[in-house]
Structure 1
Amino acid sequence: MTCPDCDAPLVAFAVPEDLAAHVPYDAEAVALCTRCLGLFEVRPPVDVPDFSRVSEEFPEGEAGVAMAVGVSLLDSLALHRARIEALFSRVEEAGYDPLLIVDRLARQGSIQPRMDLDRRRTQLEQLLE
C-alpha cells in the first residue's frame, strides 16, 4: 500500500476498541504514511504493524498505534486537542515520551510531514503541561 498523497509506503494497523473514539474514521483499520504522516482508512485485515518503518524511535504495539494516530492529528491542534491529549497520555502510560518522539521525527530527514513538527512540538509542550 502506498500513500495517496505522496506515494510513500503506509504502515497499516488495526484500531483497538479502546482507541477507536480517537481515530477520525469509523474504521477497523487505518494506515500511517511513512513520509507525510497522513492517516488513511484501510480495509482489514492488516498484519502486525512495523512502526519502525516510520522511525526507529516509534513505540510498538498499542503505544505505537496511539502515537501514530496522535502524530497524524497534529495538523490541527485546535480541532483535535482532546484526542491528542488522550492519545499522548496513553503513550506516556506505556513508558514513552511523545514529545521526544515528535522531536526526533522532526529531525528525521526521510519524513516530510504536512505540518511543521518543530512548531507543533512547542505548542504541544504548552498544551500538555
Structure 2
Amino acid sequence: MDCPDCGEETVAFAVPEEYRELAPGDDEVLALCPTCLGLHPTADADPEPDFARVGDAFPTGAAAIPMALVLGSLDSLALHRSAIETLLERVERAGADPLLVLDRLAADPGVDARVDLDGRRRQVSQFRA
C-alpha cells in the first residue's frame, strides 16, 4: 500500500491482540509510512514487515509494533496519552529506548514527519516524568 498522505510505500503489519486496545482506531492491520510516519488502516499485512525501511533508528523485534503504534498516536497526545504511556513501556521492556528513537527519527533526513517529533518528544518526556 502507498501512503495516502505522501505516496511512499508503507510497511503493513498485523496488530497483535495484545495491542489492539492501544492502537489508534480499531483496525487489525495497519501500515506505517517510513517518510511521513503516518499510520493508516490497510487490508493486507506483510507476513514479515520490514520496519528497517523506517530507518536505522527504528527498533526491530518485539519493540517494532509498539513503537509504530506510538508514532501513529502522536498526532493527539491528549486523546492517546494513556495508550502512549503503555506503549512506551512496552518498547522499553523489549529493549529499545523510545525517546532516543524519536530523537533519531527527528534528525533523519529521509523522514518528513507529519507531526513535530522534537516537540512531541519533549511533551512525552514531560508526562513520563
Is TM (by shorter chain) over 0.5? yes
Match of 1:105 in 2: 105
What residue number does 1:75 align with? 75
CA distance in 2, matches of 1:116, 1:48: 29
Aligned to 1:127: 127
Q: Which residue of structure 2 lines up, in the alignment, with residue 41 of structure 1? A: 41
User: 2:67–2:91: 8 Å Cα contact kept in structure 1?
Assistant: yes
Q: Is the 8 A contact 1:3 1:9 kept in 2?
A: yes
Report the alpha carbon displacement of residue 46 of structure 1 after superposing the two structures with TM. 2.5
SS at 2:21's partner residue?
helix
43-52 or 100-109, which moves further after superposition? 43-52
1:73-103 Cα offsets, whole Å, 9 max, x none, are: 1111111101110111100001111000000
User: TM-score normalised to the size of structure 2?
Assistant: 0.95
Structure 1: gaps (5+ residues):
none
Identity of aligned pairs, percent? 50
Q: Please, what TM-score do these two structures have when normalized by structure 1?
A: 0.95
Report the residue type matching 2:62 in the other structure: E
List structure 1 runs of 4+ shifted beyond 6 angstroms. none
Q: Secondary structure at the match of 2:32?
A: strand
Cα distance between partner residues in 1 of 2:98 and 2:128: 10
For residues 22-101 of structure 1, what are the structure 2 equivalents within 5 Å? 22-101=22-101
Aligned residue pairs total 129
What's the RMSD between the two structures over aligned residues? Answer: 1.1
- Note the C-alpha offset of 1:45: 4.3
Structure 2: runs of 5+ lacking an equivalent: none
Kindly state the Cα deviation for residue 61 of structure 1 after the two structures are TM-superposed.
Answer: 2.7
